Amino acid sequence: MIKKAKQVQTDVSESAYKIWLAGLGAVAYAQETGGKMFNDLVKRGRDMEAHSRLSTPDMTVTLRGATDRATTAWKQLSKGVDEQMTSALHRMGVPTRSEIATLGKRVELLTASVERLKPKARPLAKPMDRPTMRPAMPKS
């Protein structure tokens, strides 16, 4: 058991030492090829920037598309709500606007028909002029 613990400790120390050496090697490599590496990184950065500009869409087009999709979704939602409300009102027996308009037209037609069927009234005869009071009799 003690031998295993010492072995694990040795392995961990050896791994840590290798990591330390790799770090030192990276620093030495960067010092030796620093200028070349820097220029290479700048070139790669330019390439990456150019690539990202091409793949990034114009935000106005994206925004317009999102607005169009939102408008379409809103219209569909409104249409669905309208249909549900109309259905609920029909179940309760409430007539629609067009049904009320149709009934109004029918009432107008019936009223016109009734007016045509009414007998023509004759004008009444003019009353005679009659004195309302008798003249007073003279006193004797």
86-110 residue pLDDT tens: 788 788 888 878 888 999 999 999 9
What confidence tens digit (pLDDT) does each residue in 62-77 have?
A: 778 888 888 888 888 8
Average pLDDT over the chain, rounded to an integer: 78
Q: How far is CA 40 from CA 29, 43, 46, 47, 90, in A?
A: 14, 5, 10, 11, 74
pLDDT average, residue stretch 10-37: 77
Please tell me the total number of residues recorded for the chain in this structure: 140
Query: Residues near 96 by Cβ (< 8 Å), separated by ≥ 6?
Result: 86, 89, 90
Output the pLDDT for position 101: 93
10: tokens are 């040795």
Q: What is the per-residue pLDDT for 104?
A: 94
Q: How far is CA 25 from the centre of its chain?
A: 59
pLDDT single digits (tens) 38-57: 777 778 888 887 777 655 55
Q: How much helix, strand and coil, in percent to the nearest 5, is found in the chain?
A: 75, 0, 25
- Which DSSP state fits 132? S
* Mean per-residue pLDDT, 107-121: 86
Structural domain boundaries of the chain? 1-56, 59-113
Residue with tokens 């004759």: 122
